[in-house]
Amino acid sequence: MDVVGCHEHEYGWLVERAGCDITPGFKAIKAVNATGRIHGMIGYGAWTENSCLMHIALDNPACFRSLLAWAFRYLFEMTGRGVAFATVRARNERSMRLCKRIGMREAYRLKDAIAVGEDMVLFEMRREDCRWIPEAARKAA
């Protein structure tokens, strides 16, 4: 599986699966097989000076490790950001477990943010806590 940058016309793949919005400056990377079929994608939007909101979708969980290393390397090393955020429906137990498993921590629970009785959870990953990048890069400012 190869991890490469996405073209704007491919963002629909992520929108369809993750339900995210394409904001100004949106970027994404994808895991593709030899025939070019997309198996997973990570998008970045809502950029600020030091953070962005990440969106993750997978059709093939086997590609996830490859995507993660590049996802955080891009965000923390190449763009120099210090914090990654992700939002998850509290009822989406699979995505909640995934965020925790990769090292994100629950930063805030937004009561009734999805609908009355359905919360949204804001996760964060700080550069200094990211095990997916080299230790030297964790300390860089």
Specify the pLDDT at position 61: 83
Instruction: Give the DSSP letter string of 60-101.
Output: -GGGHHHHHHHHHIIIIIIS---EEEEEEETT-HHHHHHHHH
pLDDT at 141: 56
The pLDDT of residue 60 is: 87
| 11 vs 30: CA distance, rounded Å | 10
Closest Cα partner for 124 from 65, 48, 67? 48
The SS3 of residue 26 is coil
Dihedral sign for Cα atoms in the order 131, 7, 122, 90: negative
**pLDDT tens, position by position, for the chain (141 residues)?**
899 999 999 999 999 999 899 989 999 999 999 999 999 999 999 999 999 999 999 998 888 888 988 999 999 999 999 999 999 999 999 899 999 999 999 999 999 999 999 999 999 999 999 999 888 788 765
Place of tokens 């073209």: 7
Q: How many CB atoms lie within 10 A of CB 8?
A: 10
pTM of this structure:
0.89
